[in-house]
Structure 1
Amino acid sequence: MFSVFLSHLCIGQYSGLSKPLPEYHIKISGFDERVLVMSSLRKPKRIMIRGNNEKEFPYLVKSGEDLRMDQRIENLFLIMNSVMDADPGCRQRKLSLKTYQVISMTPRVGLIEWMRNTQPLKEFLLNTLSDEEQKYLDPKSIHAPVVQHMKWVEKVADKDNKRGFQGMFDKVYIKYSYTETVKEFRLKEGKIPWNLSRRALQRLSSSPEAFYVLRSTLLRSHSVVCICQYLLGIGDRHLSNFMVNLKTGHMVGIDFGHAFGSATQFLPVPELMPFRLTRQLTNLNMPLQVKGQMESCMRHVLRALRADSDLLLSTMDVFVKEPSLDWMNFAEKQMQAGKETDDAAQDEKWYPKQKIQFAQRKLQGDHPCHIMKDELELGHSKREAFRSMVRVLLGDKKENIRAELPAQGLSVEQQVAALIDHATDPNILGRTWGGWEPWV
């Protein structure tokens, strides 16, 4: 029974779009005896499932995590793909998300489809460094950007800092000015060769034409990833949470443990960026950078999803009916912080309803920074640096386009402009957690 269940779900033969025909489905004939144990914290295992069609299907077995969130996010991505496919502008530009199978078997065990021919974005970029560059950027080197960043953070920390990491970053927001932050951030950016992404694609390309195709695919796919992940509030977008397909150039987002704004609300050093759009990604499109292809693709995707927002919001209803364990824990944290209303306290489904309301605001054109300010307030309003964080988040009218826009009723073009300005602001990137590596 387990074998039949696994074969139908794991190999992704029940799409929900057509009547299932089990007699034609691939069945499991066995498992490879070799198991690859990953080096990450929870030691996930890669297994190889052998089908009766003489093909092998690799999957990652993860334990200790509730994969229902990842599974639901992937289902929402499939809905978004159907919306984009129905939109002429998106279809003409072949805009879609690359998805993968996630199967939550219990609240603590699940399977994730192993994506062949992919590499984490961090390895994809840093593998192009020369031996001399690698020595200089080694995390153990005193010259490495991450080491320099922590020294810069510690410089303004209180000597009797009792709040640890969180207290140090509070001082970063309070004491450092815009000019000091941007100057320091540009110095760290300058330590990294500006063209790592171009080097990486050139290594994969057999001709200038191949490089152009791979570059165009990576830029388009990352633009789609940015907008779709923003609408679902997916955070913790460090370099290891993106995979690059080495054959096609497609960008694939992975690991959705922080979704619907939890990275802003609950992380000790809150993420104040809507998505990852750092120097190596924008430099791939030199000399235009975000203008041209990236901005155009973002507009088409956002316009299509805003036009069909009812479908997305109705699909999110599953989060209300069956919240994951992580969401229940997050709800408890918010209750302890005293940030729920009286009405919410009487409604056991208040937390998922609140998160879906934020998604609804994004789809109706509210200003991204004002939405994030409300998320930040839910988790950090009692912190010493809260007002400074809000000031940095909202931007300065002299420096930022987003500071000139209204809080509500933005057009698609205005919303995308605000998002790009927000994601590329050195005053925000320069103050973030070092593990996010905003200088890459």
Structure 2
Amino acid sequence: MYPLLVACKSISNLRKAAAQEVVDKVRQHSGVLVDQAQLVSKELIRVAILWHELWHEGLEEASRLYFGEHNIEGMLKVLEPLHEMLEEGAMRDNTTIKERAFIEAYHHDLSQAYECCMKYKRTGKDAELTQSVSPELVECRDLELAVPGTYRAESPVVTIASFAHQLDVITSKQRPRKLTIHGSDGEDYAFLLKGHEDLRQDERVMQLFGLVNTLLENSRKTAEKDLSIQRYEVIPLSPNSGLIGWVPNCDTLHQLIREYRDARRITLNQEHKFMLSFAPDYDHLPLISKVEVFEYALQNTEGNDLAKVLWLKSRTSEVWLERRTNYTRSLAVMSMVGYLLGLGDRHPSNLMLRRSSGKILHIDFGDCFEASMNREKFPEKVCPVPFRLTRMLVKAMEVGGIEGNFRLTCENVMQVLRSNKDSVMAMMEAFVHDPLINWRLFNFNEVPQMSIFASTHGTAVTNTEETAPSKELAQPQRGARERELLQVF
């Protein structure tokens, strides 16, 4: 049901109407199921993005349009739906406690601001208790709806018994919520409820990982080495919110390094401090001087924090050896797969380490096909770097470094992918032509992997309804990166 409900919210009228027609057909024989799915989806979206956050995001965008681009018409288009939502909420009786609190706190000032906007046009907080943000969700009991991500054909359906009464807000940039659903089997299922982010691309990446796992399991060279990529459930609820299955017993590398350094009273940005002590005007230095300063910082720091963490968190040397091997192999597998995906934004907060096995787990797949190279803020400009393999990651491999399990695993994985290139390319082609994915960057000349697929079919394939008919798409050009990828396969 969830993909259908997402399609019902599409900006494409044709797709929206088609999805609604399918939902209406399903409602004829499973009305209760459809109503419950719509209720759960609507309320989770309501919880994922509160009015405070909607207004904060809207005001930021309106401010950017007005002060940055002097686009007054665009500013008003952003603000008008928010004001309409506020006025409708003020007249309704079924608003939540948080929505009512927002109306009482800001309605007067926002109404005055809106009046000023209209005159110009004429003349030229997060909560932890779920009942405070979604009373209907708390009252849900014994639904026919399956717990998201648990449905399997020919297996007993685990339905939603209830929702936990408390949501924990995680203090990260997007402030996601940790949601717990009580299943009919007596188990608790934890999810990360994320707003302000399109998870449909992450869902497709999980499908690719499933294919890679199958290929690795069926190869004699890799079958016995436990090289499977850790996957998790991704359930989009709307184009900008969704559920992610919670992977237990995992810590980000950033968190592990912070804890290690805090315990030893080492500053988290130790390397950066050495750089500034050597060159206070580092940001204004020429490139060759920056390299010299960077090398000075490396010479004066050890960079073995992750290696020490793996050792200290292992009960015995045998456990340590097993975890170190798992760490090295899993890092190698994701390095190869991430390279094919053009995966960027691999900072320490997007790399996780499983406490029990030592395997590396990647999260946040929003920057695929080297989209991070063309983003507005902090672009990753260095194209030849295929994956993250910094000093700290290498030192955690211990004595062999990259010339051991890492290199052997990389070669074996790449050989398996090459042997099954047709299957891999078919899956990656689906990324490009999937109309549901809202690409951050859809420029065939700038994203080499997309250019490969487009050139295979002669011209680019896009959603004709959402593309202006008068605008011709630029013909893809083969670049150095494209030729490199073709050589890989």
> So what's the TM-score if we normalise by structure 1?
0.67
Q: 2:336 aligns with which of 219, 224, 227?
A: 227
**3-state SS of paired residue (2:310):** helix
- Contact 1:9/1:103, CA 8 A, preserved across alignment: no
Alignment-derived partner of residue 123 in structure 1: 255
Q: 1:143 aligns with which of 252, 265, 273?
A: 273
Residue identity in the other structure for 2:442: A
- Deviation at 1:150? 9.4
How far apart, CA to CA, are the structure 2 residues paired with 1:410 and 1:299? 15
Alignment-derived partner of residue 90 in structure 1: 222
Q: 1:43 aligns with which of 153, 172, 175?
A: 175
How far apart, CA to CA, are the structure 2 residues paired with 1:305 and 1:407? 15
Alignment-derived partner of residue 13 in structure 1: 151
Alignment-derived partner of residue 249 in structure 1: 358
- Residues 194 and 322 (structure 1 numbering): CA distance in 2 closer, same or farther, change over 3 Å? closer
- Contact 1:320/1:349, CA 8 A, preserved across alignment: no
**Structure 1 unmatched ranges of 5 or more:** 15-19, 157-174, 362-368, 375-405, 413-440
Q: 2:197 aligns with which of 60, 65, 78?
A: 65
- Deviation at 1:410? 5.4
- Contact 2:147/2:160, CA 8 A, preserved across alignment: no
Percent identity between matched residues is: 23
Alignment-derived partner of residue 303 in structure 1: 415
Asked if 1:154 is matched to 2:263, the reply is no
- Deviation at 1:347? 5.2
How far apart, CA to CA, are the structure 2 residues paired with 1:299 and 1:12? 35
Alignment-derived partner of residue 348 in structure 1: 462
Provide, for residues 122-165 of structure 1, a one-character-per-residue CA deviation record: whole Å limited to 9, x for no partner: 11223222555424x458x98265x6699554223xxxxxxxxx
How far apart, CA to CA, are the structure 2 residues paired with 1:276 and 1:283? 13
- Residues 345 and 59 (structure 1 numbering): CA distance in 2 closer, same or farther, change over 3 Å? same
CA RMSD, 1 decimal: 3.6
Aligned residues: 332
Alignment-derived partner of residue 218 in structure 1: 327
How far apart, CA to CA, are the structure 2 residues paired with 1:214 and 1:142? 30
Alignment-derived partner of residue 176 in structure 1: 287
Matching of residues 24-423 of structure 1 within 5 Å: 24-129=156-261, 131=263, 133-135=265-267, 137-138=268-269, 143=273, 151=280, 153-156=282-285, 175-177=286-288, 180-266=289-375, 268-272=378-382, 273-324=385-436, 326-327=438-439, 329-331=440-442, 348=462, 370-371=480-481
- Residues 100 and 202 (structure 1 numbering): CA distance in 2 closer, same or farther, change over 3 Å? same
- Contact 2:344/2:370, CA 8 A, preserved across alignment: yes
How far apart, CA to CA, are the structure 2 residues paired with 1:148 and 1:344? 55
How far apart, CA to CA, are the structure 2 residues paired with 1:317 and 1:346? 12
- Residues 188 and 233 (structure 1 numbering): CA distance in 2 closer, same or farther, change over 3 Å? same
How far apart, CA to CA, are the structure 1 residues paired with 2:277 and 2:200? 38
How far apart, CA to CA, are the structure 2 residues paired with 1:346 and 1:197? 44
**3-state SS of paired residue (1:292):** helix
- Contact 2:147/2:181, CA 8 A, preserved across alignment: no
Q: Name the larger-Rg structure.
A: 2
How far apart, CA to CA, are the structure 1 residues paired with 2:398 and 2:417? 28
**3-state SS of paired residue (2:229):** coil
- Deviation at 1:91? 0.8
How far apart, CA to CA, are the structure 1 residues paired with 2:175 and 2:222? 39
> So what's the TM-score if we normalise by structure 2?
0.60
- Deviation at 1:346? 7.7
How far apart, CA to CA, are the structure 1 residues paired with 2:168 and 2:402? 39
How far apart, CA to CA, are the structure 2 residues paired with 1:346 and 1:276? 31
- Contact 1:63/1:108, CA 8 A, preserved across alignment: yes
**3-state SS of paired residue (2:179):** strand
How far apart, CA to CA, are the structure 2 residues paired with 1:95 and 1:150? 44
How far apart, CA to CA, are the structure 2 residues paired with 1:411 and 1:83? 17
How far apart, CA to CA, are the structure 1 residues paired with 2:273 and 2:357? 35
How far apart, CA to CA, are the structure 1 residues paired with 2:391 and 2:269? 19
How far apart, CA to CA, are the structure 2 residues paired with 1:223 and 1:332? 30
- Contact 1:66/1:324, CA 8 A, preserved across alignment: no
- Residues 152 and 262 (structure 1 numbering): CA distance in 2 closer, same or farther, change over 3 Å? farther
Provide, for residues 224-280 of structure 1, a one-character-per-residue CA deviation record: whole Å limited to 9, x for no partner: 111111111110000000111111111100001100111123354324221111111
How far apart, CA to CA, are the structure 1 residues paired with 2:212 and 2:460? 33
How far apart, CA to CA, are the structure 1 residues paired with 2:338 and 2:444? 24
How far apart, CA to CA, are the structure 1 residues paired with 2:283 and 2:462? 42
How far apart, CA to CA, are the structure 2 residues paired with 1:197 and 1:300? 25
How far apart, CA to CA, are the structure 1 residues paired with 2:354 and 2:329? 13
- Residues 271 and 326 (structure 1 numbering): CA distance in 2 closer, same or farther, change over 3 Å? farther
